[in-house]
Copies of this chain bind each other. A is one copy, B any other.
Amino acid sequence: MSSWESYLEAHQPRFVDELLSFLRIPSISAIPSHAADVQRAAEWVAARVAAAGLEHVEILPTGGHPVVYADWLHAPGKPTVLIYGHFDVQPVDPVDLWTHPPFEPHIIDGKVYARGASDDKGNMLVPILALEALLQSIGHLPVNVKVFFEGQEEIGSPQIGAFLPQHKDRFACDLVLNADGGQYSETEPAILVALRGGCGVQIDVKAAKMDLHSGLYGGVVMNPIHALVMILDSMRSRDGRITIEGFYDQIRPLTDLDRERIAAVPFDPDAIMADLDVPDLFGEAGYTPQERAWARPTLEVNGVWGGFQDPGIKTVLPSMAHAKITCRLVADQDPERIVQLLQAHVDRHTPPGVTATVTPLPFRASPYLTEGNDHGNQVVREVLVELYGREPYYVRSGGSIPVCSLFQQHLGVYSASLGFGLDDERQHSPDEFFRLASFRRGQTAYCMTLERLGR
């Protein structure tokens, strides 16, 4: 057993305790009243990387939630590896669907349940522990290392696009290892070659300046909920195609190889339907469900509200109605342009009698696409083959990690995903969990990867 492996083994109980402490911080980046908790999570991370033996630890302001930087740069002639992760988490509503309070972690059958357990606190703690094990056991790292841990991934990293170009020298590196990711299953590894981008808007529809009696005014003035319904219904066709004018114009078509790689990944629609308890799958005609999730754009209403929502009835004709919409985008859609198209579409489809306002939401990510044959991904592939005993699938993610395209754009490097989340771990949902076996295996994987990158 290598000395770092012995160290990992010996310190696992403490590492799990530390994970639980980290999970107790309600660092919800989307909710302004939790900003201090996000800051507290940054301070926790800064202290933890310092304890691991990294140097030059700093909490860098971004104008929004901060970034934690640290480095260890004593491997002259070796590559410089930037390790990425995020310490912010998703909101927790509907909170009454959680079995345990989301920020009171519970370990049950080798799984730790808490908001952020899988996405991404469990996964981002893994490389910190690997770095500590290497430094404490062999006394040095096999490569130069920098870390970039951020607190705004779950809201689309709105400040990172301006922050990163201002810190190009600080973050200069040869490749990125991205700890915000996963494997295909407990026994099947995966290389991530694409991420969807994204953008979002809020639509606010106003009719009368006040709520009205539906008996006195019903039939006389437009109901803003009906107006909003018309606008939203104009955005997608019955067969799942997005009907925003120009929406598909910039898309790089799927190649035969793309479709072959996607088709090679096991996919069981019946299991998904049973798991989610839905009577059918649904999406854009002409594409498989897996292609739709990974390689086609979407437009989803994330929230809608207006008028009376309490028990009972209120015969009101409301004054306002609202919706939040986000799109997932694929190469080479430009999020700025999509926001403009959404704005123009709403302007064109707002019925008479109301005004509609479109406000961009702070979620802007360019799509990311790699062939998967860069050095980082090749080394990760070797490690995965050794750990799992089989070749990885070449997968994509339907989600967005804005920094991958930002690292490509501003630092000129590819990202190799090295995370150990699994798709059943209820990321963004009640009862999110992370497998402690993945937590443990990830630590070994990072030590192996850094060693190979140093050869």
Contacts and interface: CB of A to CB of B under 8 A. Distances in A.
Contacts of A428: 211-214, 314-316
B211 A282 contact: no
Interface stretch (A124-132, A382-390, A393-401): A393-401
Interface stretch (A3-11, A168-176, A320-328, A407-415): A320-328
A32 B311 CA distance: 8
A139 interface: no
B318 A214 contact: no
A355 interface: yes
B211 A298 contact: no
A301 B293 contact: no
Contacts of A1: none
B398 A219 contact: yes
A109 interface: no
A238 B302 CA distance: 25
Contact of A304 (B222, B307, B328): B307
A207 interface: yes
A161 interface: no
A326 B318 contact: no
Given A298-B214, A397-B215, A314 B90 contact: yes
A379 to B, nearest CB: 26
Interface stretch (A68-76, A229-237, A335-343, A433-441): A229-237
Kindly state the interface size class of chain A when it binds its partner: 35 or more
Interface stretch (A39-47, A143-151, A248-256, A273-281): A273-281
Contacts of A238: 230, 351
A315 B301 contact: no
Given A211-B94, A308-B91, A219 B284 contact: yes
Contact of A305 (B276, B300, B305): B305
Contacts of A207: 276, 278
A313 B298 CA distance: 16
Contacts of A217: 276, 293, 398
Contact of A218 (B213, B233, B300): B300
A196 interface: yes
When A and B form their complex, which 6 residue pairs have the shortest distance between CB atoms, in order from nearest?
A215-B399, A219-B292, A303-B307, A30-B312, A303-B308, A282-B353
Given A198-B215, A218-B298, 10 more contacts: A29-B312, A91-B308, A91-B314, A208-B276, A215-B399, A218-B293, A219-B296, A229-B304, A278-B354, A303-B308
8 contacts: A198-B215, A217-B293, A226-B236, A278-B354, A303-B307, A304-B307, A304-B309, A313-B361
Interface of A: 29-32, 90-91, 93-94, 97, 154-156, 196, 198, 200, 207-223, 225-226, 228-230, 232-233, 236, 238, 240, 272, 276-284, 289, 292-293, 296, 298, 300-318, 321-324, 326, 328, 351-355, 361-363, 397-400, 423, 426-430
